[in-house]
Structure 1
Amino acid sequence: MDFSQDWVPLLGQLDRHVSSGRLSPDTAALSDLMSIYQVPGVSIAVGHVSGRVWAAGYGVTGGETSTPVTAGTAFAACSISKHVAAFGALLLVQDGVLDLDTDIGEYLTSWQLLDREGQQPRVTLRQLLAHTAGLSDTWYRGYAADRAPSLLQVLEGSGSTTTPPVRSTLLPGSRFRYSGSHYSVLQQLMVDATGTPFEDLMQTLVLEPVAMADSSFDQQFPHQRPHLVARGHHGGGTGIPGGWRVQPETAAGGLWSTPTDLLRLDLEIARAASGDSKLLDRDLATEMWTSQIPGGIYGLGTEVDDRAGRRRFGHTGLNVGYTCFSYVWPDSGTAVAAMTNSEDGWELLASIRAAADRRYATSITAAPLSDVTGRYVLHDDYPIDIAVTNGQLTFAAAAQQPVVLLADPDGRYLHPGLDLEVRFLQTNDQPYILELRQEGVTQTATPSTRQPESPYPTQG
């Protein structure tokens, strides 16, 4: 498999309208999108579990000594740092140093998590990794090098810190709320439990074993290779003063890396989930990309898309000056990572990811129409009636008029007027279940024993 034969043409014809998941006729080359969104540099890598990798750089690093972006140019990995930190935490779980469901107070010695009344809640490592611990809602914007606080100051909200103290603010384990504060606590916990500075711990625990040679959590890393670092840019192409910001919250957003290194980690997790990794065992890898909230989109440090035939997992990232993503499609054994040195890189990255979805998602066979008709119940007796009219499936949810679903070649059905995907899935010889997906959240409706009533008025 020669990835360049796939991706050079794909990058020359990227879809500019990706929300529907369908290829539109409005396409543009990567270079055109870089110009439209004023993104100075882009790096992309594609790899397979077999070890094959293709990588390329486009544009320039930016700054006074700007050079061409190459496959070895390091970018801020932003929140993908969480994904990598979670892998390290699970290795410590595997070694018995940590336990997923033990109170984190058992490990923290330098600082303790409190609620607003000064009480110490029971929070677990699993909840930190899954963003379900209910900690302060925080996004870390970074600091100028001479203004950066320590991690303890970030946790306490003291010194030059620009974010509030990290506190327990929601009922632990009750719901998902994405926040960098969870990973600041994780960082301190890992340091306290091992007695090792976080950047050194991650170097020996994860980066070296996974062969991520162009990556580091050390905030001095970009200074050690100034000609191999992409400098960050605000929207519109304005450069970040000093080139980039320092992130003392390194587990949450301080990793420097390349797309090639990032996909190496995702491919290692995919191998681990198949039982083929020498680093992480199968059960922990499976936990990593299993949603921790029913119908949710996040596992343990991992964004999860669990649609049948379209499964992918990984992480996205946004820091001041940078955007990125790294995902693996486990059913095809392929990973794609891309990084930009601009806050306006999202639209461009969305087009690249959509191309990867179409290329590496595996299709499923559409269910016979006669096998899926009937009533399904979503929740609290919320009925959904599926019927066949003139050879087409009709969909009628509670109190709504029936509509004809649009059939997609990959086994999906799309609602013509709503952001709604429908699939019919079957396990062994069991009846089909109906899978609904809206705004990235998957819900399941099961067959009802009650017969559906006609949605049309009775003539009398």
Structure 2
Amino acid sequence: MDSPQDWVSLLGQLDRQVSSGRLSPDIAALPDLMSSYDVPGVSIAVGHVSGQVWAAGFGVLAGGTSTPVTRSTAFAACSISKHVAAFGALLLVQAGVLDLDADIDEYLTSWRLPDREGQHGVTVRQLLAHTAGLSDTWYRGYAADRAPSLVQVLEGSGATTTPPVRRTLLPGSRFRYSGSHYSVLQQLMVDATGTPFEELLRTLVLEPLAMADSSFDQRFPHQRPDQVAHGHHVGGTRVPGGWRTQPELAAAGLWSTPTDLLRLDLEIARAASGDSKLLTRDLAIQMWTPQITGGAYGLGTELDERGGRRRFGHTGLNVGYTCFSYVWPDSGTAVAAMTNSEDGWELLVSIRAAADRRYATTRITAAPLGDVTGRYVLHDDYAIDIAVADGQLTFAAAAAPQPVVLLADPDGRYRHPGLDLEVRFVRTDDQPYVLELRQEGVTQIARPATAQPE
């Protein structure tokens, strides 16, 4: 793993322009970005599967105060809560308490998803993958003395500010990210085990992974007020009371530190290699497998495998907070970062881009030129012609029919001069090469014209 000084240097040269994936001349130090985006505090941790960890805090617990953020300062982990809850649910699957493909009605007793005539049942897998088609909901939290119960959240009753949870799409038909899936999962796990959720996750996940500065208990921040970062709205205004209470624990209720969060992602990486004592390799790989064809979400996990990069984890946004936790499995490294501001995302994207450049280590072998020439078809019959001229690849497309030379990079990629465009050629087993075309961080696939379906 990098030395602490390496990351101190990286944080002194963060890129403001991260869409291309290449370091631009527009760089700034972390304190400058914190000032630009009105972010009072940031905490960052970097860890390796070997057990090495570097962590540091920057800024203050709350705007206008002097108490510093340290590596043990707790932040709201926002939607990373889903990632942790999913790990706990899979441990229950592994123990035979839950079945991924069973109907949730087999487990729910305190509340039931209202029936709709002709609708298919919802499965545990669909809850984890956000494919159950449940109500589109984002949870804003409550003042501590006005928070409803989870059952009231599911019913949309009492002081609840979100609609009742219902099936609004055909289960399994598509991905739709919504906290309602994880509220149902939370109730299901409680009903199946007879254990309060915060206690269940402490026993299943937090204690075995030594996540000592983490808790789903909403009393946790009140018990250690000098070690909790206060949330801030856009523009730097402090959240009244410092933070909000989230009865939707599995969806958004975890309190944690970056050091604790990367422990989870590194354990999943170990499990995917067959080296975990907690989770089986099969279940870890399912966490990292798209549950909808072509999708970017597994079981409680955001997936990114574009442009030769592989990283898995989760991002989060609550009222007053932003965060991410990712692992780059090819380098065995995880990075987590948390802020106490809704304005923190732009800063976090710059930190994540620095980690991408450092840890996305997959090397791409250059394809033989003669094997990749020909016509490729992108969406809507958009044609791309690849040829060889004077020993170099040339690129011509529908919008620019005059061929231009593609500049070769040492790692097997090719660049289009003058445009934010990268090209690489990829094949699986004995299949023909496909062309990956990357612009502004988005990768599209063009297939050989001869391989197009009739």
Common fold: TM-score over 0.5: yes
218-227 or 434-443: bigger deviation: 434-443
Task: Give the aligned partner of residue 88 of structure 1.
Answer: 88
Name the amino acid aligned to 2:138. Answer: W
Name the amino acid aligned to 2:448. Answer: P
CA contact (8 A) 1:297 1:440 kept: no
Task: Give the aligned partner of residue 43 of structure 1.
Answer: 43
Secondary structure at the residue paired with 1:263?
Answer: helix
- TM-score where L is the length of structure 2: 0.92
CA contact (8 A) 2:367 2:412 kept: yes
Name the amino acid aligned to 2:273. Answer: S
Counterparts of 1:104 and 1:437, CA distance in 2: 40
Alignment of 1:69-218 (within 5 A): 69-114=69-114, 117=116, 121-218=120-217
Task: Give the aligned partner of residue 385 of structure 1.
Answer: 385
**CA distance 1:199–1:64, shift in 2 (3 Å):** farther
**CA distance 1:382–1:20, shift in 2 (3 Å):** closer
The number of residues matched between the two structures is: 449
Secondary structure at the residue paired with 1:449?
Answer: helix
CA contact (8 A) 2:307 2:443 kept: no
Specify every segment of 5 or more residues in structure 1 that has no aligned partner in the other structure, as ranges: 452-460
The Cα shift of 1:371 comes to 2.0
Secondary structure at the residue paired with 2:306?
Answer: coil
Counterparts of 1:34 and 1:403, CA distance in 2: 44
The Cα shift of 1:412 comes to 3.6
Task: Give the aligned partner of residue 369 of structure 2.
Answer: 369
287-296 or 80-89: bigger deviation: 287-296
| 1:10-66 deviation line (CA, Å, top 9, x unaligned) | 001111100111110011000111111111000000000000000000000016765
Task: Give the aligned partner of residue 434 of structure 2.
Answer: 433
The Cα shift of 1:171 comes to 1.0
CA contact (8 A) 1:121 1:168 kept: no
Task: Give the aligned partner of residue 454 of structure 1.
Answer: none
The Cα shift of 1:291 comes to 1.1
Task: Give the aligned partner of residue 338 of structure 2.
Answer: 339
| 1:242-263 deviation line (CA, Å, top 9, x unaligned) | 0000010010011000000000
The Cα shift of 1:121 comes to 3.8
CA contact (8 A) 1:136 1:179 kept: yes
Counterparts of 2:249 and 2:224, CA distance in 1: 19
Secondary structure at the residue paired with 1:316?
Answer: strand
CA contact (8 A) 1:292 1:299 kept: yes
Counterparts of 2:394 and 2:114, CA distance in 1: 53
The Cα shift of 1:125 comes to 1.0
**CA distance 1:297–1:400, shift in 2 (3 Å):** farther
Name the amino acid aligned to 2:33. Answer: L
Counterparts of 2:199 and 2:140, CA distance in 1: 23
Identity of aligned residues (%): 83
The Cα shift of 1:235 comes to 1.3
Counterparts of 2:25 and 2:9, CA distance in 1: 15
Name the amino acid aligned to 2:376. Answer: Y
Question: Does residue 62 in structure 1 map to residue 62 in structure 2?
Answer: yes
Alignment of 1:207-246 (within 5 A): 207-246=206-245
- TM-score where L is the length of structure 1: 0.91
Specify every segment of 5 or more residues in structure 2 that has no aligned partner in the other structure, as ranges: none
| 1:92-138 deviation line (CA, Å, top 9, x unaligned) | 111111111111111111111126x5776411111111111111111
Counterparts of 1:183 and 1:285, CA distance in 2: 19
Counterparts of 2:66 and 2:385, CA distance in 1: 60
Name the amino acid aligned to 2:297. Answer: Y
Name the amino acid aligned to 1:59. Answer: G
Task: Give the aligned partner of residue 3 of structure 1.
Answer: 3
Name the amino acid aligned to 2:144. Answer: A
Counterparts of 1:177 and 1:241, CA distance in 2: 31
The Cα shift of 1:417 comes to 8.6
Secondary structure at the residue paired with 1:39?
Answer: coil
The Cα shift of 1:361 comes to 0.7
Secondary structure at the residue paired with 2:435?
Answer: strand
The Cα shift of 1:423 comes to 2.6
CA contact (8 A) 1:113 1:121 kept: no
Task: Give the aligned partner of residue 322 of structure 1.
Answer: 321
Secondary structure at the residue paired with 1:152?
Answer: helix
The Cα shift of 1:222 comes to 0.4
CA contact (8 A) 2:15 2:28 kept: yes
Name the amino acid aligned to 2:73. Answer: T
Alignment of 1:247-396 (within 5 A): 247-307=246-306, 309-362=308-361, 363-377=363-377, 384-389=384-389, 391-396=392-397
The Cα shift of 1:440 comes to 6.7
Q: For the aligned residues, what is the CA RMSD?
A: 2.4
**CA distance 1:226–1:444, shift in 2 (3 Å):** same
**CA distance 1:159–1:270, shift in 2 (3 Å):** same
CA contact (8 A) 1:297 1:441 kept: no
Name the amino acid aligned to 2:75. Answer: F
Name the amino acid aligned to 1:449. Answer: T
Secondary structure at the residue paired with 1:283?
Answer: helix
410-419 or 430-439: bigger deviation: 410-419
| 1:303-349 deviation line (CA, Å, top 9, x unaligned) | 00123631000000000000000000000000000000000001110
374-383 or 81-90: bigger deviation: 374-383
Secondary structure at the residue paired with 1:386?
Answer: strand
143-152 or 425-434: bigger deviation: 425-434
**CA distance 1:409–1:353, shift in 2 (3 Å):** farther
Name the amino acid aligned to 2:140. Answer: R
The Cα shift of 1:402 comes to 6.0
Task: Give the aligned partner of residue 27 of structure 2.
Answer: 27
CA contact (8 A) 1:63 1:243 kept: no
Counterparts of 1:253 and 1:408, CA distance in 2: 42
Counterparts of 1:131 and 1:358, CA distance in 2: 30
Name the amino acid aligned to 2:397. Answer: A
| 1:335-378 deviation line (CA, Å, top 9, x unaligned) | 00000000000111011000000000113223233221113355
The Cα shift of 1:169 comes to 0.3
CA contact (8 A) 1:259 1:338 kept: yes
CA contact (8 A) 2:19 2:441 kept: no
The Cα shift of 1:441 comes to 6.6
Task: Give the aligned partner of residue 423 of structure 1.
Answer: 424
CA contact (8 A) 1:114 1:121 kept: no
